[in-house]
Every structure is written in structure tokens, then in C-alpha cells.
């Protein structure tokens, strides 16, 4: 659909990964190569996104954002909801929410941090929705049982598949809330303050909790024959 002046009034399609650039790094590493940590946020690209948006070129703005962070959003959703189609739904919902809300974005945080909060909330919603549909699919802690993370990429080696499976196994041993916070820290690279703002807990509490969890996660990965995740 197009509005006045030929500008689109609907977000560009996300079907088949449209508008998404290549994910950085090799697939299947023990902690998948995430989007940039806060110190490496693509500030120049974010500024370009906002400039395009404010000039009315919303399609280009959203595609730039999808190219920059789309794979990170999808990878995090996969880890949270543990099912490929559901993860793609989360990605779709996340960028649709961005499309609807970017006019109200106040730049109190980076676009990346804002996106992380949205994808986290939509992932939690998806898990809860699936729990209502099939209670047996979700554990008492809110984790998803053994649904496939994703269709294996043909380019992934047997070793990288084994590492991915080992990480999945070890993350499943963490309580749901802790697992989420470890993913926000180690997979999405958020600061403890940013995680605290998202989950509503003090940053110091989260830091201590994750610090205690990581050695256990490393030992589990070593027992599984995978590399150290740090």
C-alpha cells in the first residue's frame, strides 16, 4: 500500500529473509556470533536509519535496520522460543512494532538496545502463547522443551552442529529467567544496566547471578566436548 507522495504506509516484507544482510561470523559457534556489543553498536548506521525515517523514506529506514540487526534479532528469538517458525514470527512482530513505534522513539538508548527490549518481550509472549496451546511443550520454568532450534544450515560442519547442540543442552539446564539473562548478556551483548532496565531487576543482582552461572555453563560445555563460550 502507498500513501501520498508514493511513500509506503506498510513495512517491507520479511518473507524469506528479505532485507536481511549476512550474519557475521560462522554459524553454529558455541555462543553464536551476536550483533555488536554496546561498545560496537553501529551508530553511523543507526543515525542513517533515523535520518531516512524522519525524511519520510520509511521503507529504506526499516530495511537498513533489518540489514544491520535482523539476524541478531532472529538468532536471539531462536534461542528463546526454540522453534524456527515461532522465531520468525517474533522477528516479524519485532520489526512491525518498530515500524509502528519509531515515530515515538526518544533516543534515550541506542536503536539496538530498544530492539533488544522489543524482541525479548515478543519472545516471552510467544513462549507464553505456545504454553497455552500445548502445556506439555513448556517446562514449569517457562522454558521450551526439545523443539528444534532451526533447520540445519548445509554449510554447517558436524563439529559446529555438535557445538550448537551442546550449547542448547547446557542452556536448557538453567532456570528460565537466568537463561534469558545469560542470553541477553552473552548473546546480545547488553550491559547489566540495560538488562536490568529490560527485566526490572537491579543491575548488580543480575551481574552476580550471571557470574555464578557462567562457570557452570562452561563446565557443562566442556563435559559436552564443546569450546569455552567466553
- Digit-coded pLDDT (tens) for 132-173: 554 343 333 334 333 333 334 444 445 555 676 777 788 888
174: left (phi over 0), alpha (psi -120 to 50) or beta: beta
Provide the residue range defining the domain that includes 35.
Answer: 11-223
User: How many domains are there within the chain?
Assistant: 1
**Residue 39 is assigned to a structural domain of this protein:** yes
Q: What is the DSSP letter of 138?
A: B
Looking up cell 543515525 gives 47
Query: What pLDDT is recorded for position 224?
Result: 78
Average the pLDDT over 32-58 and give the result: 74
**Residue 6 is assigned to a structural domain of this protein:** no
Average the pLDDT over 93-102 and give the result: 92
> Which of 62-66, 171-175, 186-190 is predicted most confidently?
62-66
Residue 29 reports pLDDT greater than 50: no
Q: What is the reported pTM? A: 0.57
**Residue 81 is assigned to a structural domain of this protein:** yes
Helices (H), the chain: 43-54, 58-81, 84-101, 111-133, 158-172, 176-182, 192-199, 203-223
**Residue 119 is assigned to a structural domain of this protein:** yes
Q: Whole-angstrom Cα distance, residue 197 to residue 195?
A: 5
Average the pLDDT over 77-90 and give the result: 86
Q: What angle do CA 140, 146, 148 make, to 5 degrees?
A: 135
Which of residues 149 and 124 earns the better pLDDT score?
A: 124
**Residue 147 is assigned to a structural domain of this protein:** yes
**Residue 1 is assigned to a structural domain of this protein:** no
Beta bridge partners of 2: 8
Query: What pLDDT is recorded for position 12?
Result: 63
Residue 11 reports pLDDT greater than 90: no
**Residue 3 is assigned to a structural domain of this protein:** no
Amino acid at each position: 500500500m502507498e500513501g501520498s507522495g508514493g511513500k509506503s504506509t506498510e513495512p517491507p516484507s520479511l518473507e524469506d529473509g528479505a532485507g536481511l544482510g549476512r550474519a557475521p561470523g560462522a554459524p553454529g559457534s558455541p555462543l553464536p556470533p551476536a550483533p555488536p556489543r554496546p561498545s560496537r553498536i553501529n551508530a553511523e548506521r543507526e543515525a542513517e536509519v533515523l535520518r531516512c525515517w524522519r525524511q519520510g523514506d520509511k521503507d529504506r529506514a526499516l530495511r537498513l535496520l533489518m540489514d544491520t540487526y535482523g539476524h541478531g534479532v532472529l538468532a536471539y528469538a531462536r534461542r528463546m522460543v526454540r522453534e524456527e517458525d515461532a522465531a520468525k514470527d517474533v522477528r516479524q512482530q519485532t520489526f512491525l512494532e518498530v515500524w509502528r513505534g519509531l515515530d515515538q522513539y526518544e533516543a534515550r538508548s541506542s536503536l539496538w538496545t530498544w530492539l533488544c527490549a522489543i524482541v525479548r518481550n515478543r519472545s516471552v509472549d510467544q513462549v507464553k502463547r505456545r504454553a497455552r496451546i500445548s502445556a506439555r511443550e513448556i517446562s514449569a520454568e517457562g522454558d521450551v522443551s526439545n523443539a528444534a532450534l532451526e533447520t540445519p544450515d548445509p554449510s554447517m560442519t558436524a563439529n559446529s552442529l555438535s557445538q550448537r547442540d551442546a550449547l542448547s543442552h547446557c542452556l536448557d539446564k538453567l532456570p528460565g529467567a537466568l537463561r534469558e539473562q545469560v542470553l541477553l548478556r552473552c548473546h546480545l551483548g547488553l550491559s547489566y544496566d540495560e538488562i536490568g532496565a529490560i527485566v526490572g531487576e537491579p543491575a548488580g543482582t543480575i551481574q552476580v547471578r550471571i557470574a555464578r552461572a557462567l562457570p557452570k555453563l562452561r563446565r557443562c560445555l566442556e563435559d559436552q566436548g564443546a569450546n569455552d563460550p567466553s
